[in-house]
């Protein structure tokens, strides 16, 4: 009976170790560019609503193209964080 408990404890230890290692690898792979996962999730969700014809005629952009466009728009726009906030006090 004691041998069975020992075997179950060893299996539980191996399972928990494996789970921890896989979780660490998953987190490490996500830390490179977290916005890419967010973009891909939204993209795949919106793809589900489109018909195959719409996907063939108007394919969605890749994350790399989206990132380039976003960076170029950031460079064109002035810094809005330094703008004065409007006064909403009613007199």
- List, for residues 5-55, the tens digit of each pLDDT value: 665 778 877 788 888 877 766 666 665 677 787 788 888 888 888 888 888
Q: What pLDDT, on a 0 to 100 scale, did the predictor assign at position 84?
A: 59
Q: In the chain, which ranges are E strands?
A: none
Q: Which residues of 17-52 are buried (b: 16+ CB within 10 A; e: fewer)?
A: eeeeeeeeeeeeeeeeeeeeeebeeeeeeeeeeeee
Q: Is the pLDDT of residue 4 over 60?
A: no
54 or 2, higher pLDDT: 54
Q: What pLDDT, on a 0 to 100 scale, did the predictor assign at position 39?
A: 83
Confidence of residue 81 (pLDDT cuts 50, 70, 90): low
């Amino acid at each position: 009976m004691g041998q069975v408990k020992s075997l179950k404890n060893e299996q539980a230890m191996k399972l928990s170790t494996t789970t921890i290692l896989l979780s660490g690898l998953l987190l490490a792979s996500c830390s490179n560019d977290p916005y890419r996962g967010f973009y891909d999730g939204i993209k795949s969700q919106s793809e589900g609503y489109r018909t195959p014809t719409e996907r063939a005629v108007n394919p969605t952009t890749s994350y790399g193209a989206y990132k380039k466009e976003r960076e170029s728009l950031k460079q064109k726009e002035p810094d809005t964080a330094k703008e004065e906030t409007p006064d909403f006090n009613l007199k």
